C-alpha cells in the first residue's frame, strides 16, 4: 500500500500542476496554486524515500526522492512556491489573473519534475518546461525593462538547451541507460568524455548565471517583480546547479587540469561579486551578487571534485545543502529588501538610474556602422557609402523583434496559448 501511495504521489507531484494549467480544469477550484502543491506536501510527510520507473514515458524515464538531501531540495522548492503563490494572488475581492496562474502552474510542474527526475531525459524535459514557463512569468507584466531582460534570458535558454540536448545524445550513444548513476559511471570510464563535459558545463553555466556568463542575471533582478524575483534563486539557478551535480561524473573521474581551471573561475566569481556589489551599492540587485558569489563557491567546490574524486564522494551532500540554501537565501533577501524599500522613503540606499535598456546585441549594428564610416573616411572613401547603406538596411531588419513582440502579446492576452502548448506537449510525449 505504501509503495502504491508513494508511486502515485511521485507521478501526481508534477502531473497535477500540469493538468491544472488548463483553465477549464481549474475553473471551479479555489486557490488552484495551493492545491497543485498538495501531492508534494504529502510526499514530504512520508518518512521513507520512494522511486518509480516509467519506461513508457519520454523513451524511458523515472521519478524518485531519497530520505536525505533530495527531500530538503523538494521542501525548499515547495516553500518558495507557496510564498510566490501568496505574493502573486490578488487582494481579497479581486479576480485572479488567469494567464499568470497558468504560467505559474507550468513553471511549478517543471520545477518539481526536475527535482524528482532520476534520469537525463526526464531532467532535461522538466527543466526545459520550467525554463520556458518561467520566461512566460517574466513577460506577463507590462514593464518594458522586464520584457527586454526576459528576451536575453530566452536566448540563454535556447543556447543552453541546444547544448544539453547534444549532451543527452552523446550520453545515449555512449551508455544504454540514461539514469544519473549509470551515465556518471560510463562517462567516468569513457576514453573521450571531453565533448560531453563541455556541453554540460557550458549549458548549465548559462542557465545558472555562473560568472562570466551572468549577463542575464543582473537585468532580471533589477526589473522583475518581487513575486517572481524571489523564485530566481530557487528555479533557474538552483536547478542548473543541481544539473551539474547529477549530470557530471563527479566522484568518478579525475581531471586535475580542468578542475584547477574551474576552481580559478569560482574564485574569480567570488571576487567579482564582492567588488562589483560594493561598487554598485544597489539594494535591489544585492541578491544577484549574493547569487553570483554562491555560484562561485559551488564552482570552486565542483572544480575540487573534478581534481579529487575522493574528496567529492566524502562531501557531496554539502553541495545539495548549498543548492537548497541558495534558493532559500535569495528568496529571503528579496522579501527583506522589498519590506525595507516599502518601509523607507526615500529608499535606504540610492539606486543608480539604469541607462539604455536595449539589449547588448541590439547595439552591434550601430557600432559596425560607425566603424565603417570611420574606415571609409580614413582608408576606403569610395566604399563608405556602400558600408552605410548596408548597415542602414541591416539596422531596419527587426523581424525577430516584431515576432517577439507579437508572441509576448499573445502570451499576455490569450489563455488558449497555454492550452495549445500543453496539447502539443502531450502529443509529442505519447505519440
pLDDT in tens, 337-394: 777 766 665 544 444 444 444 444 445 545 554 544 454 444 444 455 555 555 555 5
pLDDT in tens, 9-26: 888 888 888 888 887 787
Q: Is the pLDDT of residue 37 over 60?
A: yes
pLDDT in tens, 291-350: 888 888 899 988 888 888 888 888 887 888 888 888 788 878 877 777 776 666 554 444
> Confidence band (pLDDT; 50, 70, 90) for 54?
confident
pTM of the model: 0.75
pLDDT in tens, 170-187: 888 887 788 888 888 888
Domain assignments of the chain as residue spans, ordered by start: 16-343, 373-430
- For residues 415-430, average pLDDT: 52
What is the per-residue pLDDT for 25? 80
Three-state SS letters, the chain: CHHHHHHHHHHHHHHHHHHHCCHHHHCCCCCHHHHCCHHHHHHHHCCCCEEEEECCCCCCEEEEECCCHHHHHHHHHHHHHHHHHHHHCCCCCCCCCHHHHHHHHHHHHHHHHHHHECEHHHHHHHHHHHHHHHHHHHHCCCCHHHHHHHHHHHHHHHHHHHHHHHHHHHHHHHCCCCEHHHHHHHHHHCCCCHHHHHHHHHHHHHHHCCCCCCCCHHHHHHHCCHHHHCCCHHHHHHHHHHHHHHHCCCCCCCCHHHHHHHHHHHHHHHHHHHHHHHHHCCCCCHHHHHHHHHHHHHHHHHHHHHHCHHHHHHHHHHHHHHHHHHHHHHHHHHHHHHHHHHHCCCCCCCCCCCCCCCCHHHCHHHHHHHHHHHHHHHCCHHHHHHHHHHHHHHHCCCHHHHHHHHHHHHHHHCCHHHHHHHHHHHHHHHC
What is the per-residue pLDDT for 62? 81
pLDDT in tens, 207-231: 988 888 888 888 887 777 777 888 8
pLDDT in tens, 117-171: 888 888 998 889 888 888 888 887 656 777 787 888 888 889 998 999 988 888 8
User: Bigger pLDDT: 324 or 418?
Assistant: 324
User: Bigger pLDDT: 400 or 65?
Assistant: 65
pLDDT in tens, 264-281: 998 998 998 888 877 776
What is the per-residue pLDDT for 230? 81
Amino acid at each position: 500500500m505504501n509503495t502504491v501511495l508513494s508511486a502515485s504521489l511521485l507521478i501526481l507531484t508534477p502531473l497535477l500542476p500540469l493538468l491544472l494549467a488548463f483553465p477549464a480544469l481549474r475553473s471551479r477550484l479555489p486557490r488552484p496554486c495551493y492545491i497543485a502543491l498538495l501531492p508534494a506536501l504529502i510526499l514530504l510527510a512520508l518518512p521513507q524515500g520512494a522511486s518509480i520507473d516509467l519506461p513508457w514515458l519520454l523513451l524511458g524515464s523515472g521519478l524518485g526522492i531519497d530520505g536525505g538531501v533530495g527531500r530538503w531540495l523538494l521542501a525548499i522548492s515547495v516553500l518558495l512556491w507557496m510564498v510566490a503563490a501568496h505574493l502573486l494572488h490578488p487582494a481579497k475581492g479581486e479576480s485572479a489573473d488567469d494567464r499568470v496562474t497558468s504560467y505559474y502552474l507550468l513553471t511549478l510542474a517543471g520545477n518539481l519534475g526536475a527535482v524528482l527526475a532520476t534520469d537525463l531525459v526526464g531532467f532535461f524535459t522538466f527543466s526545459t518546461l520550467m525554463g520556458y514557463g518561467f520566461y512566460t512569468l517574466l513577460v506577463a507584466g507590462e514593464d518594458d525593462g522586464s520584457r527586454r531582460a526576459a528576451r536575453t534570458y530566452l536566448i540563454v535558454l535556447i543556447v543552453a538547451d541546444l547544448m544539453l540536448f547534444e549532451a543527452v545524445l552523446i550520453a545515449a550513444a555512449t551508455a544504454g541507460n540514461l539514469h544519473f548513476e549509470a551515465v556518471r559511471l560510463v562517462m567516468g570510464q569513457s576514453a573521450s568524455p571531453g565533448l560531453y563535459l563541455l556541453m554540460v558545463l557550458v549549458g548549465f553555466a548559462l542557465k545558472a548565471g555562473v560568472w562570466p556568463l551572468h549577463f542575464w542575471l543582473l537585468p532580471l533582478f533589477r526589473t522583475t517583480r518581487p513575486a517572481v524575483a524571489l523564485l530566481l534563486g530557487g528555479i533557474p539557478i538552483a536547478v542548473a546547479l543541481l544539473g551539474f551535480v547529477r549530470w557530471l561524473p563527479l566522484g568518478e573521474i579525475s581531471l586535475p587540469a580542468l578542475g584547477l581551471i574551474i576552481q580559478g573561475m569560482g574564485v574569480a566569481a567570488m571576487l567579482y561579486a564582492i567588488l562589483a556589489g560594493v561598487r554598485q551599492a544597489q539594494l535591489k540587485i544585492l541578491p544577484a551578487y549574493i547569487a553570483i558569489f554562491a555560484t562561485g563557491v559551488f564552482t570552486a567546490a565542483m572544480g575540487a571534485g573534478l581534481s579529487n574524486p575522493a574528496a567529492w564522494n566524502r562531501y557531496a551532500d554539502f553541495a545539495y545543502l548549498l543548492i537548497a540554501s541558495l534558493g532559500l537565501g535569495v528568496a529571503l533577501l528579496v522579501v527583506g529588501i522589498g519590506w525595507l524599500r516599502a518601509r523607507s522613503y526615500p529608499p535606504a540606499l540610492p539606486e543608480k538610474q539604469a541607462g539604455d535598456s536595449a539589449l547588448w546585441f541590439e547595439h552591434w549594428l550601430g557600432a559596425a556602422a560607425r566603424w565603417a564610416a570611420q574606415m571609409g573616411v580614413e582608408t576606403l572613401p569610395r566604399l563608405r557609402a556602400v558600408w552605410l547603406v548596408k548597415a542602414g538596411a541591416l539596422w531596419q531588419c527587426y523581424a525577430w523583434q516584431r515576432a517577439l513582440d507579437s508572441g509576448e502579446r499573445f502570451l499576455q492576452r490569450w489563455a488558449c496559448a497555454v492550452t495549445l502548448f500543453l496539447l502539443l506537449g502531450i502529443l509529442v510525449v505519447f505519440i
